[in-house]
Amino acid sequence: MKIENSIALVTGANRGIGLALTNALLARGAKKVYAAARDPRSVTLPGVVPLRLDVTQPDQVAAAAREAGDVTLVINNAGIASTTKLLAPDAEATLAREVETNAYGLLRVSRAFAPVLARNGGGALVNVLSVVSFINAPTLPTYSVSKSAAWSISNGLRNELRAQGTQVVGVYVGFVDTDLTKGLQGDKHDPLDVAGTILTGVAANSEEILVDEFSRKVKAGVGQEPSLYLHPPQRG
């Protein structure tokens, strides 16, 4: 779909990749950008429309869909992460929090905005996932589970929204230099570069955007024998 003159909504738009995406949308000529965040006061970028949205709160999701009823592009970017191990005492509680935001939150927003996109010609739904959708990273075990769930949800949404002409895009990337990866070792991408690659892929009608070489290698390696997910590579 065309980015120019689109009307976009970005979740988690107050920082990190979300902030970079709002900047990139404006730079590429989006007509309007709703910058959604749990606290709209944290949205300080000029030229956007701040929107209160905690993706874990169904009432806020429904209200956002009513307020932003003109959108043609929805970007599910909001996410949380931890380094909790699967055998840690608090693994279940941590996993529940991450799935609530990263998987259920994504689904909640997608369901609320699917009819909006249909009314506005189909548009696009972009889900910012991760390379750990394909493998369980030793540094981010519970987060990996939540992103694998989000990947599967994205694939299912693509099947269900194809009939209404909505482009469903999955985005896969390694570490990005944001608060989410603070404290993690390894090479990290500039959020503005990532945002630019995402929008270029959306404009090219891509269904999957593999932002970096690491993500491309990991996806290719999943189909190898033995599969890469049996012995995932360390990010470094």
Q: What is the CATH number of the domain that holds 44?
A: 3.40.50.720
126 in a structural domain: yes
73 located within any domain: yes
Give per-residue pLDDT as tens, 112-143. 999 999 999 999 999 999 999 999 999 999 99
Helices 141-161, 91-99: crossing angle, 10 deg rounding: 30
- Report d(CA 128, CA 171) in Å as an integer: 5
Q: Residue 219: inside a domain, yes or no?
A: yes
Count up the domains in the chain and report the number.
1
**Locus of tokens 């070792």:** 185
Is the residue at 236 inside a domain? no
pLDDT tens readout for residues 148-166: 999 999 999 999 999 999 9
The predicted-structure confidence for 181-231, as pLDDT tens digits, reads as follows: 566 666 778 899 999 999 999 999 999 999 999 999 999 999 888 888 888
Eight-class DSSP state of 129 = -
Whether residue 224 is contained in a domain is answered as: yes
Q: What is the mean pLDDT of residues 31-44?
A: 97
Mean pLDDT within 44-61: 97
**Distance in angstroms (rounded) separating the CA atoms of residues 35 and 14:** 7
At 143 the pLDDT is 96
The secondary structure element, H or E, covering residue 197 is helix 191-203
163 alpha-carbon distance from chain centroid: 22
Whether the CB-CB separation of 228 and 135 falls below 8 Å is answered with: yes
Question: Is 235 within a domain?
Answer: no
Strands 124-128 and 167-172: parallel
- Residue 153 inside a domain? The answer is yes
Mean pLDDT of 55-73: 98
Tokens of residue 112, six digits: 């609320």
Structure tokens at 60: 């806020």
Domain that holds residue 54: 7-230
CB 205 within 8 A of CB 173: no
Closest CA to 102 of 53, 52, 144, 59: 144
212 closest CA partner among 234, 188, 236, 233: 188
CB atoms within 10 A of CB 225: 5
Contact present, 72 and 33 (Cβ < 8 Å): no
Count other C-beta atoms under 10 Å from residue 205's C-beta.
Answer: 10
Q: What is the pLDDT of residue 175?
A: 74
Distance CA 89, CA 91 (A): 6
Determine, yes or no, domain membership for 198: yes
